[in-house]
Structure 1
Amino acid sequence: MRNLKYSLEYFCSPIWIEEDNENPIYENIEIDILEIDHYLKDEINTLNNIYQSKYNDNYPPEPYSFSIAEEIIFISRVITSSKILIELLKNQYNVIFDTFYWEQRLTHLINELENK
């Protein structure tokens, strides 16, 4: 089974497919190629657009910031979309998503919000 990676990166689609099992190079593809529910496609495209809007042309290493509430909601949506993507594609792809990173970031932000 081929790997499919869900990963937000600037100037790219968030969907990456492993070229083949012997070659761990990932090709960036458009979400529309996948046979998944159009609501999920729309959600992933919306999340990607939000992410892309945070790119800072003046100083790329430091993207524009979210408010705490905005980032908590954004991350919650990314995590939820990943779970749905994994479930819908489980018979076609091994979906790779950095759940640990996203959940840790979410926990950190929630703690930060609670301690204000």
Structure 2
Amino acid sequence: MTSTSATHYRHHVFFCCNQREPGGRVCCNDAGASRLRDYAKQQVKKLGLAGKGRVRVNQAGCMERCEEGPCLVIYPEAVWYTYRSEADIDEIIRSHVQNGEPVTRLRLP
């Protein structure tokens, strides 16, 4: 694992929260990305994981994977996920962020 001094955060979680015009291509925000990003931020804080040297949850613009999404990516490992529910977010936080084990069933190729 990369040192926190080099990355500033042990894990940096980016949620694609892109919103496209209605009737166009699919976008992550249509699948609740902003709501689930907010939920993830709350959970990370509630679990005492947030802060410098620890975990940061951020919004990102389009990451060009909306058709596979909604999607998020966790750095420094560059592991991409899709998710559908708070339970999926809880599993990603518990397994990957807290225990270092990626969630195979939710990984994007």
Same fold (TM over 0.5): no
Normalized against structure 1, the TM-score is what?
A: 0.26
Larger radius of gyration: 1
Normalized against structure 2, the TM-score is what?
A: 0.27
More helix by share: 1
